[in-house]
Amino acid sequence: MKRVALYLVWSAVAVCPSAHGQRIAKYGADFLAGGVGARALAMGGAQVALVKNVNSVYWNPAGMARTAYPEVAYMHAERFAGVVSFDYAAVTLPVSDESTIGLSYFRSGVNDIKNTLNAWDAERNQPKANPELYVSSFSAADMAYFVSYARRLRSRLSVGISGKLIRRMIGDFADAWGYSFDAGIQWQGRRVVLGVQVQDVSTMLQSWSVNPSAFAIEGTNPETGTAYTFQEVFAQELPSGQTFLVLPVLRLGSGIVLPVGQVSSVTVGLDMDVAFDGQQANAFNAGAVSVHPRAGVEYSFQQVLAVRAGINRLASGTAGLDIVPSVGAGFRLGSFALDYGFGDFGGLVSELGYSHRISVHVSLNRQRWERSGDAL
């Protein structure tokens, strides 16, 4: 029980080491790494050049300039076999011939995490009688708020930017604020599309603070006559707050749309993420630089039914190259679209469980809300 208590609490605050100053966080905003939209998951996340709707707020804000009407999207995802829930909502609004704005909200959370700190009898150095009576629960949640803007520069060229505010909470133990910017550009040819996005172009700052009172231990030390401290019971120093830096990620995207007969089309996307924070999980890395390729394909029939497949990740595992595939389907009726995506979150040999996504997308096709001029 003592080990369980120590493990749970230190797992919760592992992001808040005792050293002061700023450090590079390899996975400081990883809760956003999975992206948004079931179509994107099914196509392996190859969206930087292809995206041209409300989901551009995440994949490439420049894509918002290619919308003609206000759009709304919502997505719910279950990760790690349902342990982690992820929700996303966004809205975009054309405000002039060339400009579009967007607002979006992201939340990733784990509920009912057990806090066993007070189930340990510090004086007797063993679990209390009926320890379950002293176990409480807390939640850990990561949230993000995006404000986005896109502008069409030429008939085929658009740019965009997203300001991001990050809020992270681990029960009453610790919390953090962070902020940064994303920037992107898109070019659309007749069949070929190209895109570039830089995530956290300003470098994200995440400032963590720790609440020492949340680590209070019940009981009085008979030797000192004062309340037990976390350090006395677990022989560990309390963690302290720190500021982390999340370095930029360069995302390069390309795509091609090919007609198949009179009513169908095939869309192929290929993206490449280049990170500079020393992640070693990707299959291609050298020093602090790692390359993360993504690929996806979609077959669409009369722009009503679609089937999709993709490769979300290539990783170096103990058994060699680990490929993370994904599949999905979509249905569109007028201005309403419903999409489903399915993928193995941790790879073919992982026990982390599967990832399911369901997303809806609505375009508010009303003449009074239509963008003046031609959308890209």
More confident residue, 376 or 247: 247
* Residue 369: strand, helix, or coil: helix
Residues in Cβ contact with 340 at an 8 Å cutoff, skipping those fewer than 6 apart? 38, 42, 328, 329, 330, 356, 357, 358
DSSP codes joined into one string, 195-241: EEEEETTT-EEEEEEE-GGGG--SSB-TTTSSB--HHHHHS-PPP--
- Predicted pLDDT at 37: 92
Task: State the greatest distance between any 2 C-alpha atoms of the chain, in Å, as a whole number.
Answer: 86
| pLDDT for residue 320 | 63
Show the CA angle centred on residue 284, arms to residues 281 and 290, nearest 5°.
70
What letters, b where the CB count within 10 A reaches 16 and e where it falls short, cover 246-278? bbbbbbbbbbebeeeeeeebebbbbbbbbbebe
Q: Confirm if 285 and 279 have CB atoms less than 8 A apart.
A: yes
What band does 22 get if pLDDT is binned at 50, 70 and 90?
low
- Residue 12 near residue 174 (C-beta atoms within 8 A): yes
* pTM of the full structure: 0.81
Q: Please write the tens of the pLDDT for every residue from 30-55.
A: 788 888 999 998 999 999 999 999 99
Element (H, E) at 263: none
Average pLDDT over residues 292-315: 91
What is d(CA 7, CA 1) in angstroms, rounded to the nearest whole number?
A: 10
Taking the CB of residue 147, how many other CB atoms lie within 10 A of it? 15
* DSSP-based three-state secondary structure for 38: helix
Whether 195 has a pLDDT exceeding 60, the answer reads: yes
Other CB atoms within 10 Å distance of the CB of residue 177: 13
Q: What span, in angstroms and rounded, lies between the C-alpha atoms of 327 and 349?
A: 17
**Mean of the pLDDT values across residues 314-320?**
64
Q: Are 303 and 332 in contact (CB under 8 A)?
A: yes
Average of per-residue pLDDT values in the chain: 82
Distance of alpha carbon 41 from alpha carbon 312, whole angstroms: 8
Strand partners, 293: 272
Mean pLDDT of the region 94-108: 94
The tens digit of pLDDT for each residue in 81-90 reads 667 888 999 9
Give the whole-number percent of the chain exceeding pLDDT 90.
Answer: 46
